[in-house]
Every structure is written in C-alpha cells, then in structure tokens.
Structure 1
C-alpha cells in the first residue's frame, strides 16, 4: 500500500460554513487521524505575507555566527531561546537510545506563551517562561504575527476534533485556556566539517510530539519522514499553500489510541557532499499544565481498561523534555518505545 498523507480543506471552519460543510470536514479529519495521524491542511487562512515574514525572520537569525546566536540561549530548564546543534536527542524522549548514538544536529529557536500572557492565573514561570528575543531588526514582530495565526489554526483544529469525536462544542476549551504553546523554529544546515557526512546522518531522531496537536510550516525540501503502518519510513513535504498537521501523545491518550501520535524524524538530503538546507517551524499546542488527561469514556470498550493512566500535561511534558534535553530516558513511554524499536527492527 502506498503511503499517503490526506489533504483536508478546513475553510468551512475558518469562514463559518454550513453545518453540513463542517460535518464533512470533521469526518475527513477523523479518517485521517485514524489512518495516518498526519494531515495536509488547506484553507487555513494564514496570509502568505505572514509566512513569508516568518521565513525571513528565521533566515535573519540563523544566518548569524554561532557565538552571536548563543547570546540568545535561555536560562536552563526553560523551553525558550536558542538551542545549538547537537544539544538534544529526541529519541530519548520515547525511552529509546538513538541508533546514531549522536545528538540531533538541528539548531532551533523557541518562543511561547508566558506567565505575562495570563494575568491573574498562577502559573509555573519555568513552564510559562518569558521569551528571549535576539537583537535582530523586526524579528519579534514577524514571529509574533505568525505565532498568533498558528495559534488560531490550532484552536480551530481542536474545535474540529471535538466534532469528529462526537464531543460537546468547546470540549477542549477548559483544557487549553492557558495552554503551554511553543513555536519551535528549526534550521537543518551546518557549516562544512561540523558533522561527518558518512553513515546514517540524523537531523532530528525519531519521536512523537508531546501535546495535543502540532501545526507545521516547512520548506518543500525533503527530509521529514513519517512512519507508515507497515513499518516503512516515508518522505513527506507540505503541498502548495498547505500546513502539515500531526497529533501529539496527549491526543493519543485522550482517544485511547483511536487516533495515533505518529512517529516521525528528519533525515536531511545531502547534495554534492553538503547538507541541503531545510527550515521548519512547529507550533505545539500542548494544553494547560495543570490539566489532567484521561481517556474519553466513549473511546474505551465496555469491560476493558484505558491503555494509559491519567496524567497531567505538566508531568507528561516534563518526562519527555527530560529525555530529549537532559539525556534521561523516559521510562514511562513504554508503548511509544516499542513502536520505535519495531520500526528499527529491534
């Protein structure tokens, strides 16, 4: 069977279409989430000027020398600011030692919602850290513009999810009104001599995303690979004017694996002995830190138990981050680890 990422046009939900139009979109999303877990989203409504601004801001920052970029490294323990190359190993977030035995070589810059965005709400300043902004002209303004639009798309998608799962309108609102949302901008390009181009080079090792849903803008450059149900790795690039959307672990838990968080990785193309540069920006919509995620009762067969115990968003994300950034294998991710090992023939 040929691997295929379905395309779904969500215009009806962006422009307040008819009930019938919205139902058709919800049905298409349900099918895509059941069968693939990745979706090409069209009709999202983000202006080209905004995505162009995002791309140019990323170019302006990542073009700087490494010492300059390192001035934007955030305080330890916060998910903000600059991440230098080979500082993370995402396979550890799933409780698996990466087969490459080398940290992932991508570099990144993170921004997210902070305590100052939720006045009057008591939040952990480490989980909702204030942003670190580089001294790059117009950077904050361009990133903020895209962040707002991507957040709107993520919220629209959770509204569609509620309809697709036959849940009440606004079901996800109580779990996301002070959501841990982070935009991670990735750059897959390194100066010559930084890495050995022989062997199995990994830009970002195999992993699932942590939260509810991820909205991804990316270049139409090969590198992103998605694990198919047959155990094969498949190249995926965004269609024209599309965003790639995939589910996170919390949605898999919520739906008792009716919908899956799909394993993916980045293996950069090498052209004429150099890495072909690839850019991406992933907006992670992860839910409120204090929200408890438990299987939706309708997804659990009578007489059976849910596949996962209840867990708070905070506890889940902290375990994942401890793996990818602190080098501590996530021992609670046994089901996810088994999927990685199976894909690697282990």
Structure 2
C-alpha cells in the first residue's frame, strides 16, 4: 500500500468490517458515519479488489479512447440513452444544480448492469430502460471481459459498503441487502485528454456537481488537473490517492435517505496548470451505485426525530434517478 494519501479526506480500511460480523465492524461503521457527516468523501483501502483487475479495466478503457474518433463514434450512446460513448462536449453541467454551463472537457464510455436474469424485473419495459444491453467495442479484445470482472468486483465492494452504512445508521446489518441485490448501477470510464490549447472560459474537465445515487466509487490516475472536493466554507480541497485505493462519496439519494444526516458533497475535476509540462491526459473509472429501481426511499427513522423531522417524501431509486436524468436532459447518470 502506497503512503501517498490525502490529508483532508479520511482513509478507512474496509477489511476489518468483514461482512458486518467481524470484531472490527463497529469501529469501521463509526468511522464512516463521521466521514459521511463531515465531508461525504472517504478514501477506501482494504477493499479486496485485485490490482490486476483494476489495471486491466483501465488498460482496455485507454485502448478504446486511443481509437480513431470515427471508430469511437460507432459506439455512440443512442439519443436519450446513457450506455456507450459520449465525445468531447457531449455533457454540460451543472446537472446537479439545474443549471446550464459550459460543456465538460472530457469523453466517456458507460455500461449499465452486467448480470441480468430473465424474470420480469429485468425484461419489463422499466427493466430495459434502467438496464439496457451493454455495448462492447470489438476493436479492444479484452474490453468486455475486463469491464465485466471490474463491474462485478465494484458491485461487491458497494454491497459491503451498504452493510457498513446500515451499521453506521443503527440499522440491521442486512437492511439494504434486498434493496441493492438487483441494483441498476453503471460503470463509466472518463478520459480527460491532454489540453494542448486553453479550455473555453469557465470550462473545467468536470464542472462542480454532486452525484445522483447511493454511493460512488472512483479509481483514478494521478495526473495534473484532478479531483477537488468542496469544503464547508466553499473552498476546494484536492484529492490524491494511490492507484490501489478508491475514493468513495455519498450521492444525493443517500443524503435524502438519511434526511441529510450524510452529505452529498460538491466536487469537480480541474484543468491542469498551464505550466504542467508533458502530457496532462488523465483517466478515471467510476462505479455509480444505484439501488434496485423499485427500492423504496423514505427518510430513515434513525435519522429523524423531534429536532430533525423528515425533509423528504417517499420516492423510489428509479423515480429519483429518472427525475435527475430528466433534469440533466439525459446527459449523465
């Protein structure tokens, strides 16, 4: 494990939690509760994902983005859809703020849920909408295999984190199990190309935003121009982590589920400094965890009380996601 860790983002070892019944489980849950109250961001180590699985997913993503644009465009996301390729300028922010802004200086590739059954939950109109067939670029030989394995590994990490969340929120450890066992999560690669010319005024690699779902897991390269998290005073803290760690942050749905006990925090990806020198290309792999589309979301009783009445009405994971996507004009997940 590298010793290069951020000073402001808490680093938490997931290994002592086990599946929720290990001796160190309570300490891990308490640490997550503090972190999710304070900043909503955590650096997760001890997650159990083999480094070769992480590296393989990154390599195949980079190989895809290295293809000629005409080949990448063959896999363009369909109108109104979110799986497939989106080129530079295809996404405008701030989609979490209900605002129009300059398009992000990035390109992306996204796949939805990998493993699906043949029951109605998956094959119905709703199921097909939230879990469209993945598109695999044939020009990259190991793309499908490496992404499938990485998706499954990240799904397992997210399942364990939802158990940590249950414990931290004084719920039965398996409280979220039946709410995420058929989740509609997606995996996305983001390529931030080398900036050989200055960006447009106010254009960032990714403008300030919050994420939609329960939690986000990020694997990122260390390159000039990177992730920043907004502090409570409005200033920005850079995030740098070793390649074998994940950055985890709370999404809007989990903030709503916890009646804002936990924070869905604004973050952005900045441009490299003009004097960075050399290539400033940067790549990230992001797992956006979203519970089952029919999972009911009501502010948890353990997060409400006489001084903290419920702020939100009932919704479902799917309804919440659809609302967010509609506001974003289906430009992001």
Same fold (TM over 0.5): yes
Gaps of 5+ in 1: 329-346
Structure 2 counterpart of 1:219: 221
CA-based RMSD of the aligned residues comes to: 2.3
Q: What is the match of residue 344 of structure 1?
A: none
Write out aligned runs for 1:65-144 (5 A). Answer: 65-98=68-101, 102-113=102-113, 117-122=116-121, 123=124, 124=126, 125-135=128-138, 136-144=140-148
Q: What residue is the counterpart of 1:341 in the other structure?
A: none
How many residue pairs are counted as aligned between the two chains?
Answer: 320
2:301 equivalent among 283, 291, 297: 297
Contact 1:13 1:22 in 2 (8 A): yes
| Mean Cα deviation higher: 204-213 or 75-84 | 75-84
Q: 1:261, 1:118 → 2: CA distance?
A: 32
Q: Aligned in 2, Cα 1:256/1:215: closer, same or farther, shift over 3 Å?
A: same
Per the normalisation by structure 2, the TM-score is 0.89
Change (3 A) 1:84 1:190: farther
Aligned partner (choices 166, 171, 192) of residue 167 of structure 1: 171
Contact 1:106 1:186 in 2 (8 A): yes
- The residue aligned with 2:39 is 36
Contact (CA 8 Å) 1:94, 1:320: kept in 2 or not? no
Query: Which residue of structure 2 aligns with residue 335 of structure 1?
Result: none
Task: Report the alpha carbon displacement of residue 327 of structure 1 after superposing the two structures with TM.
Answer: 7.4
Q: Is the 8 A contact 1:214 1:245 kept in 2?
A: yes
1:333 is matched with: none
1:149 shift after superposition: 0.8
Deviation at 1:305, TM superposition (A): 3.1
Deviations 1:42-99 (A, max 9, x none): 101111111110111111100011111010113223221111111112313321233x
Give TM-score scaled by structure 1 length.
0.86
In 2, Cα distance between the equivalents of 1:262 and 1:118?
A: 34
Aligned to 1:200: 202
Q: Is the 8 A contact 2:103 2:203 kept in 1?
A: no
Point out the more displaced range, 303-312 or 26-35.
303-312
Question: By how many angstroms is 1:186 displaced?
Answer: 0.3
Report if aligned partners of 1:188, 1:268 keep a CA contact under 8 Å in 2.
no
Question: Residues 306 and 214 from structure 1, CA distance in 2 versus in 1: closer, same or farther, beyond 3 angstroms?
Answer: same
CA deviations on 1:229-288 (whole Å, 9 max, x unpaired) are: 111111112235211000111110111111111111111214548871111111011111
Give the equivalent residue in structure 2 for 1:47: 50
Partner Cα distance (2:273, 2:71) in 1: 27
The CA deviation at 1:317 is 1.2
**Paired residues of 1:197 and 1:273 also in contact (CA < 8 A):** no
Q: For 1:42 and 1:255, how far apart are their aligned partners in 2?
A: 24
| Equivalences for residues 242-321 of structure 1 within 5 A | 242-272=245-275, 276-302=280-306, 305-321=309-325
**Taking structure 1 as reference, are residues 216 and 303 closer, same or farther at Cα in structure 2, changes over 3 Å only?**
closer
| Structure 2 gaps, min length 5 | 1-5
